[in-house]
Chain A
Amino acid sequence: MSKITLKINGKERPVDVSSDMPLLWALRDKLNMTGTKYSCGIGQCGACTVLLDGTPMRACITPAASVAGMNITTIEGLHPEGEHPVQKAWHKIDVPQCGYCQGGQILTAVSLLERNQNPSDADIDAAHSGNICRCGTYHRIRKAVKLAARYKRGGAK
């Protein structure tokens, strides 16, 4: 065990972890931040997606110790009242079914829209192809990302 400091959603969080403990389990079991989900444990499904200095990465295969000092954004850190354009679009389109993968989907969309103000279906598909949704909300994810893009550009309310 060693003490490290993680910078999560803008706050410094000291945490005691073994050298191989993935960030996912540091968040969930050490810090009780359960918005980041476990599903495959091998970086295949994207349920554990967090943003690392703005880039989506898989918390289930990233040792917590390796990201100490970097800016980590989890779903809890987006907007606490759901007022981020992506959260608003996700609600308007009513994307979730079970909802378990949606935190990862939303963070992936946030990152995409930082890079691309007007993504096409192909852009959305490329960005989200690492995020499995077992319930099959893909059709709505495409719509919601486009709506979020409009919200961000100020073109829709």
Chain B
Amino acid sequence: MKTPNENLNRRAFLKVSALASGAFMIGVSYRSNAAQTQSGPDAATWSPNLYIRIEPSGSITIVSKNPEGGQGIKTAMPMVVAECLEVDWKDVTVEQANLDDRYGRQAAGGSRGTPDGWNDLRIAGTGAAYMLRTAAAETWGVSIDSCKAENGTIVHEKSKRTLSYGRLASLASKQSVPAVEKLTLKSRPSEFKLLGKRIPGVDNKKIFTGQLAYGCDTRLDGMVYAVFQKCPSFGGKVRSANVDQLKKAPGIVDAFIVEGTDNLKGLMPGVAIIAESWWEAQSARKQLQVDWDKVQSDSTADYTRQAEALTKQSGETLGENGNVDKAFDKAHKVIESQYYYPFVSHANMEPQNCTAYQHPSGKLELWAPSQNPKSGRSLIASTLRISEDTIHVNMTRLGGGFGRRLTPDFMVEAAYLATKVNRPVQLQWTREDDIQHDFYRPAAWHNLKAAIDKSGKLTAWENHFVTFGSGKRTVSGANLSNKHYPAGLTPNFRLRQSLIQAKVPTGPWRSPGHSAYCFAFQSFMDEIAFAGGRDPLDFRLDLLKQRHGSTDFDTERAVGTLKLAAKNANWGRSMGPNQGQGLAFHFDHGGYVAYVAEVTAQASGQFKVDHVFGTADSGPIINRSGADNQIEGSVIDALSTAFLEISFSDGAVEQSNFSNYNLLRINQAPSISVDYVQSDNPPTGLGEPPIAPATPAITNALFAASGKRVHALPLGKQGFYI
């Protein structure tokens, strides 16, 4: 594992600017990045990403560069700056950056915001504090070592003199910039004053007063509203549509056919209706008649038939260690099970939308609730054949992301409409558009087979993974690595794969892959444990001690996380009739998470998740409240999604709204408690790691409570309800 210091990027530089107002601004940059993004003789005179601004008045502004969609990054990352800058959190104002190449990566995905920001933001905060100390030392004629940064002031302890950051701002900006190597960065929980505390979200007050603007709340002078009808059957093109009739409807500004492209993740063909209010555009849409030219007719029924046929074949071997066939021949016991999970949708509470305006100057300005605005800008530039330099993206808060908003289809749609209308235009999808034009988490079948010896030890593991592909490659979100658990822990390991050709769009869904397959793996682990007469916890702990090659995670951290969950839940305690405990753990995106779920189940199939104990090792916790929120939310998300299914017929999605894609409600939600192993490892994000093991912890508890093993989702189709 990397130590915190090895992880420090030695090519980082501090950059300082002074404003006419006397403000001190500090940022971080990298020469390599600058060389990539700039050209010409001045390439070495890089522009920094500016994170901190200290005004002579003492006001402190910290910039948050990534999109905020509920993962809490806009609170957590500025906390890192404030910790290292030694300022009181209540004196800090957080400002949302717009898309600006000086910031490097600006995305909410892969739980990368925290690990990526950790070094830059500590460097920025620590470097600024260093320069403020230098300025005070110069003022007082004392050594910098005798000047301490504390709570927004520099203190000279011997003489008890103090100077506020505001008063030092101007002088600090004139100091020579310290080399990053000279800075001592805080890295351990024992060194923190602010980090690890429960800090409420910086946007809370605006949310509670209705003042916060999500993407769909953008309001511009002269703005018009649009709806966009695409072919329900994915990829379909428009032969003709009654747009002339629609133009006569009340409030309609324009209606036209969009030829679009063949890119399912780009500008698809359809019909745009633009009106003075969204309701008028949507009302006119009810009269819309389109003759569609469908290009495919994929269906869930056909996928299932193909999966049954492929399951009987051997598939392609993606990796094998040891001799799996021999191990099965010699096994004391062989356990076989098939697991299945369906396609699911993201269902962000804020349906997809984007606002765009083509300025008379040629500048194309967007207001986008996007998890990856840079990819949106790139898609717009290539689709509309314009330069990226003419596109400006304002980053709004997102009403949920979960991976859906990594795909910028809604941005290119709005941008295209803006080029057709001389006014700012807001494209607002309906809930039906959103559910029927998502990039779905792919379904899959896992044909699992395990061998155990007389002591119940796992001697072989095989998975024939039947998933979705396009040609010989898996589609987005449908791959499985042969390096994942339990690879490296069992002497004989094989992953086989078969592909069903999919023409429906798929994509990343919160912890892509992991959030799906973990249900199968951790359920099957329980089956193996029981087949060998082992306790599910002991079986997992023993397995983590085995070494048969390398693992893609630190087994000690996994053991620590599992043990803490078991301890907090009093694992193995005697439960009432119809009650049971289930556990599961997983590693992904750098984080280790384990759960113990407690369930009460009735013979009718009705059950209740009474309580869930969650534990994580994701390094030092930055914002305890935000971290807990991700774990609590993941438990709810997992239970909710275990009841959901997206199915296809004639190439289109059969579900349409919350009436038939019904997310979990409060009366179905368990109580949850959260705890951490706070190691000295660098922090990882928590948007993704907590989701994967939550599902199998619940279904394993369901087995313990009811004796019924859940081999397929959604739970409703297995006779369970909540």
Which of B71, B209, B669 contacts A81, CB < 8 Å?
B209
- Give B10 Cβ to nearest chain A Cβ, in Å: 36
Interface centre among A78, A81, A138, A140 (most CB of B within 10 A): A138
Which of A82, A98, A101 contacts B209, CB < 8 Å?
A82
Residue B399, interface by CB 8 Å: yes
Can you report 24 residue pairs joining A to B where beta carbons are below 8 Å apart?
A: A18-B250, A18-B280, A22-B279, A28-B278, A34-B213, A35-B211, A40-B657, A75-B209, A75-B210, A82-B204, A94-B626, A96-B203, A99-B399, A100-B214, A103-B210, A106-B208, A128-B667, A133-B349, A133-B636, A134-B348, A134-B349, A135-B349, A138-B666, A140-B629
Residue B633, interface by CB 8 Å: yes
Interface string of A22-48 (1 = CB under 8 A from B): 100100111011111111111011010
Interface size on A, residues (CB 8 A): 63
CB under 8 Å from chain A, chain B span 396-445 = 397-402, 428, 430-431
State whether B666 touches A128 (Cβ < 8 A): yes
Which of A74, A98, A136 contacts B636, CB < 8 Å?
A136
The residues of B that contact A124 with a CB separation of less than 8 Å are 666
The residues of A that contact B401 with a CB separation of less than 8 Å are 98
Chain A-chain B contacts (Cβ-Cβ < 8 Å), number: 198
Interface string of A97-110 (1 = CB under 8 A from B): 11111110010000
Residue B383, interface by CB 8 Å: no
State whether B633 touches A97 (Cβ < 8 A): yes
CB under 8 Å from chain A, chain B span 611-644 = 625-626, 629-630, 632-637, 640
State whether A33 touches B210 (Cβ < 8 A): yes
Interface centre among B69, B198, B347, B665 (most CB of A within 10 A): B665
The residues of A that contact B70 with a CB separation of less than 8 Å are 96-99, 135
CA A32 – CA B711 in complex, angstroms?
49
Residue B205, interface by CB 8 Å: yes
- Give B427 Cβ to nearest chain A Cβ, in Å: 13
Interface centre among A18, A78, A94, A136 (most CB of B within 10 A): A136
- Give B140 Cβ to nearest chain A Cβ, in Å: 41
Residue A3, interface by CB 8 Å: no
CA A139 – CA B668 in complex, angstroms?
11
State whether B277 touches A135 (Cβ < 8 A): no
- Give A65 Cβ to nearest chain B Cβ, in Å: 13
Residue B231, interface by CB 8 Å: no
The residues of B that contact A22 with a CB separation of less than 8 Å are 279
Identity of the chain A residue whose Cβ is nearest the Cβ of B71 in the assembled complex:
A97
Residue B314, interface by CB 8 Å: no
State whether A97 touches B669 (Cβ < 8 A): no
Which of B198, B225, B666 contacts A125, CB < 8 Å?
B666
Identity of the chain A residue whose Cβ is nearest the Cβ of B672 in the assembled complex:
A139
State whether A25 touches B277 (Cβ < 8 A): yes
The residues of A that contact B349 with a CB separation of less than 8 Å are 37, 39, 45, 47, 98, 100-101, 132-135
Residue A126, interface by CB 8 Å: yes
The residues of B that contact A82 with a CB separation of less than 8 Å are 204-205, 208-209
Residue A11, interface by CB 8 Å: no
- Give A3 Cβ to nearest chain B Cβ, in Å: 15
The residues of B that contact A90 with a CB separation of less than 8 Å are 204, 208
State whether B279 touches A29 (Cβ < 8 A): yes
Q: Could you list which residues of chain A lie within 8 angstroms of chain B, going by C-beta atoms?
A: 1, 18, 20-22, 25, 28-30, 32-42, 44-45, 47, 74-76, 78-82, 87, 90-92, 94, 96-103, 106, 124-126, 128-142
CA A87 – CA B208 in complex, angstroms?
6
Size range of the chain B interface in the assembly? 35 or more
CA A76 – CA B210 in complex, angstroms?
5
Is chain B's binding surface mostly helix, strand, loop or mixed?
loop
The residues of A that contact B693 with a CB separation of less than 8 Å are none
- Give B378 Cβ to nearest chain A Cβ, in Å: 25
State whether A25 touches B278 (Cβ < 8 A): yes
- Give A45 Cβ to nearest chain B Cβ, in Å: 5
Question: Assuming the A-B contacts A94-B625, A98-B69, are A126 and B210 also in contact, with contact meaning beta carbons closer than 8 angstroms in the complex?
Answer: no
CA A135 – CA B510 in complex, angstroms?
12
19 new A-B contacts, CB < 8 A, other than A75-B208, A91-B205, A134-B402, are: A18-B279, A18-B280, A28-B278, A33-B210, A35-B210, A37-B350, A38-B351, A39-B431, A44-B658, A87-B208, A99-B399, A125-B666, A132-B658, A136-B634, A137-B629, A137-B632, A138-B666, A139-B632, A139-B669
- Give B250 Cβ to nearest chain A Cβ, in Å: 7
The residues of A that contact B71 with a CB separation of less than 8 Å are 97
State whether B633 touches A34 (Cβ < 8 A): no
Identity of the chain A residue whose Cβ is nearest the Cβ of B629 in the assembled complex:
A97
CA A126 – CA B666 in complex, angstroms?
8
Identity of the chain A residue whose Cβ is nearest the Cβ of B636 in the assembled complex:
A136
State whether B671 touches A134 (Cβ < 8 A): no
